[in-house]
Amino acid sequence: MQNYKREFIGFMVQSNVLKFGDFTLKSGRRSPFFMNAGAYVTGEQLQKLGRYYAQAIHDNFGDGFDVVFGPAYKGIPLSVVTAIAYHELYGKEVCYCSDRKETKDHGADKGQLLGAELHDGDRVVIVEDVTTSGKSIDETYPKLKDAADVEVRGLVVSLDRMEVGKGGRLTAQQEIQERYGFPVASIVSMSEVVEALGGTVITPELKDAIDKYYARYGVEGGAGSSDAGRQPQASR
């Protein structure tokens, strides 16, 4: 595991973004862990967050993109801090763009998007906090293609939860890949979280709860990311 991944896992815990316990998700599932990217609220946290996203984009897509796109609402600050961090780390000037939930019908920046104007041929990387159903991509992908004939290079999320998606066969990330044809990467996977925190934050009791959760909601034999198709395992 790269150092920045291990650092990011500790950063999520320290920022109270990644929590462990007993949580009821919007899906109705009871989960022993929960992620809330809305807990990143300080300037220092946002600066660090942008750098982690920039490193993940560089690892997965290199410099082959022009625009960082963040779906509203949490994706708006994500796209801004990631564009800044990418320039700082790699010296490449990239633009940010985000969508609005409602179309603005007045002013110089009217329309569905804010930030950079998209042009035919622009190469776009989408950034999100986490994806559980792919709903935000279903809403924003048509907006991107309506704005210009862009090429979506891929999607980067903070955490791959590694659990079954709506179709009951693949993870949510794999479903997006299958539906839209672009790769989906994560800064870290839940498998890496368990590896990094096993024996410390993740106690044997908590590890047992995580194992039971994935026995019920994990994906077996899935294709896609290197972590797909196996339950998170703690290092020994």
Q: Is residue 234 part of a domain?
A: no
Q: What is the pLDDT of residues 150-159, one digit of tens each?
A: 999 999 999 9
Q: CB–CB of 101/56 below 8 Å?
A: no
Residue 106 has pLDDT above 80, yes or no: no
Residue 231 has pLDDT above 80, yes or no: no
What local confidence, expressed as pLDDT, does residue 214 receive? 94
What local confidence, expressed as pLDDT, does residue 223 receive? 25
Residue for token pair 């996203």: 53
Q: Is residue 229 part of a domain?
A: no
Q: Is residue 117 part of a domain?
A: yes
Q: Could you give the 3-state DSSP secondary structure of residue 140?
A: helix
What local confidence, expressed as pLDDT, does residue 103 receive? 67
Q: Is residue 95 part of a domain?
A: yes
- Counting the structural domains of the chain, the total is 1
Task: Look up residue 193 and give its two tokens.
Answer: 């979280």
Looking at residue 204, which CATH number applies to its domain? 3.40.50.2020
Dihedral angle sign, alpha carbons of residues 146, 150, 153, 158 = negative
Q: Is residue 224 part of a domain?
A: no
- The model scores a pTM over 0.85: yes
Residue 148 φ/ψ region, left for φ over 0, alpha for ψ in the -120 to 50 degree band, beta for the rest: beta
Q: What is the pLDDT of residues 149-197, one digit of tens each?
A: 999 999 999 999 998 888 888 998 999 999 999 999 999 999 999 999 9
What local confidence, expressed as pLDDT, does residue 104 receive? 63
List Cβ neighbours of 28 (8 Å cut-off, separation of 6 or more): none
Q: What is the pLDDT of residues 5-54, one digit of tens each?
A: 999 999 999 999 999 999 998 778 899 999 999 999 999 999 999 999 99
What local confidence, expressed as pLDDT, does residue 230 receive? 43
Q: Active-site residues: which are they?
A: 104, 106
Q: Is residue 222 part of a domain?
A: no
Range of the domain at 22: 3-217
